[in-house]
Amino acid sequence: MSAIEQKQVTADEAGMRLDRWFKAHYPGLGFGRLQKLLRTGQVRVDGKRAESNTRIAKGQTIRIPPLGVELPADDKKNARPKSTKLIADDRKAIEDMLLFEDNHVMVLNKPAGLAVQGGSGLKRHLDGMLEAYTDRKGNKPRLVHRLDRETSGIILVARTRQAAQELTKAFRHRNTRKIYWAMLAGVPKPFQGRISTFLARNEGEERMQVARQGDDDAQHAVSLYSVFEKSGQKLSWVTMKPVTGRTHQLRAHAAHIGHPIIGDDKYFNIENWELPGGIQNRLHLLARRIVIPHPSGHGQIDVSAPLPPHMQQTWNLLGFDATDYDPEVDDPDDSLNKR
């Protein structure tokens, strides 16, 4: 793109954060580059300066300066169409992930290692795979939220624009209950707790770091945790709830309290710590369960995901039984969420 463009926000994009809007339209645009464009006023919304967390509204105009990135996600003019076989493969892969499906929503069990959205050098990602479900009118299912590439578990996909709006609204108003399972190094004390910090992106290392209120791009982040089972003082099975939804929030918070998640290549910060034999050095973080109002306005969605193979292996080695945890019973840290 070599000239300034003006794009209008569509109805199904209403309520999105500005940075996520750019991620959806221009996956090749780095976070640091976008922040610089925002700080210098080159990106504007309805002619006014904006921030990465600005919520956009239907009909607003976004000013887009020359970005120097390749093909935007919504520009299909020069894109090579997918082969029939690749579309069939993508559809089969998504069918294998399905935990729940109706005319409004799909709940998927994303495997560890699969990226949710495209980025530099990524040829296959969930957002692209969803094109296999595009209907005759050109409507494609929409991602409602994201998971880190190495995090496995539940992810919601809206099948209609209205469903996307309602689910996004539920996330924005925190009418969503998200529960994660993690294996941590050591045992947090107290066994139940609330972690509250400000987080900002460390652009050089592509990770989040604890920051001070008022620092550039610093956002308040709150997580709840509860130790469910432990193996001596070496490892602990912990349930975690993100009250806010910041990038890498649970991973950064676990490291912040001195008990990083096993297999976390970005945040594991304990020197000379040895991984117990038989446990794979892969991220032990599962988006276990989600409870959210159904976008139709009737009832709610309540779905749980099983442990991925590498975490199941760890549970077996430690003698932990995931069936001991009844997903229908309130979580032991639920009272913390009511403070």
Question: Active-site residue numbers?
Answer: 148
Using DSSP, state whether 13 is helix, strand or coil: helix
Residue among 25, 69, 35 nearest 202 (CA) = 35
Rounded to whole angstroms, how far apart are CA atoms 146 and 171? Answer: 12
Amino acid, res. 222 = V
Please give the structure tokens belonging to residue 286.
């599962």
Q: Give the DSSP H or E segment for 89.
A: helix 84-97
Please give the structure tokens belonging to residue 98.
């399905």
* Sequence-separated (6 or more) residues with CB below 8 Å from residue 167: 105, 144, 156, 158, 292, 295
Q: What are phi and psi of 156, to 5 degrees?
A: -95, 140
- Identify whether the C-beta of residue 49 lies closer than 8 Å to the C-beta of residue 62: no
* Sequence-separated (6 or more) residues with CB below 8 Å from residue 38: 18, 49, 50, 51, 52
